[in-house]
Amino acid sequence: MSSAQSAVIRRATPADVEAVTGLVYELAEYEKARHECTVVPAQLEAALFGPDPAVFAHVVEVVTDSGPQVVGTAIWFRNFSTWDGVHGIYLEDLYVTPAHRGAGYGTALLATLAAECVAHGYTRLAWSVLNWNTPSIGFYESLGADAQDEWTTYRLSGDALAALASQSSSDGASGAP
């Protein structure tokens, strides 16, 4: 970290929602998928701080002479391992602005999530990375993370999701939140 600025890693607050939303859009741009990103601050605020939040976030706040600025975020949720019988953390988004990369903020965010896992007895911290994102892959491997190459991620969305849902005989009352 630069001597000209100090940084803190902390849980996001409602006051951070605009900044975190902006970082999500920057990440979407970096991942060449800006056109797929449609989240608005109100949605993110409801997910993070509504009556029953299922999504959580940490931020990197850099304090400079011009005041505090959020320059990075880790957005995550709890998952569950049926094999271990305990929760883990799935990191949905990790992003640090280009001007602040290389200062250790990404490592600090991941270390914070690892500490969250250890403190709660969670056995896993997992995330996905695009195959072409070699800088991030190198970073993750430098931390000791293992690629799960034997798994292929699948996704249903849009028309395919709606088409499969139309085949359900359920009334939609699954009990899931």
Distance CA 150, CA 30 (A): 26
Report pLDDT digits (tens) over 14-52. Answer: 999 999 999 999 999 999 999 999 999 999 999 999 999
Q: Which residues are catalytic?
A: 140
Is 91 part of any domain? yes
Is 176 part of any domain? no
Alpha helices (H) in the chain, listed in sequence order: 17-30, 41-49, 105-120, 134-142, 158-165
Q: What is the CATH number of the domain that holds 135?
A: 3.40.630.30
Distance CA 127, CA 136 (A): 12
Q: How confident is the model at residue 1 (pLDDT cuts 50, 70, 90)?
A: very low
Distance CA 120, CA 136 (A): 27
Is 171 part of any domain? no
Is 165 part of any domain? no
Q: How confident is the model at residue 3 (pLDDT cuts 50, 70, 90)?
A: very low
Prediction pTM value: 0.89
Q: How confident is the model at residue 169 (pLDDT cuts 50, 70, 90)?
A: confident
Is 141 part of any domain? yes
Residue 167 has a CB neighbour count (10 Å cut-off) of: 6
Q: Based on the structure, what is the number of domains in the chain?
A: 1
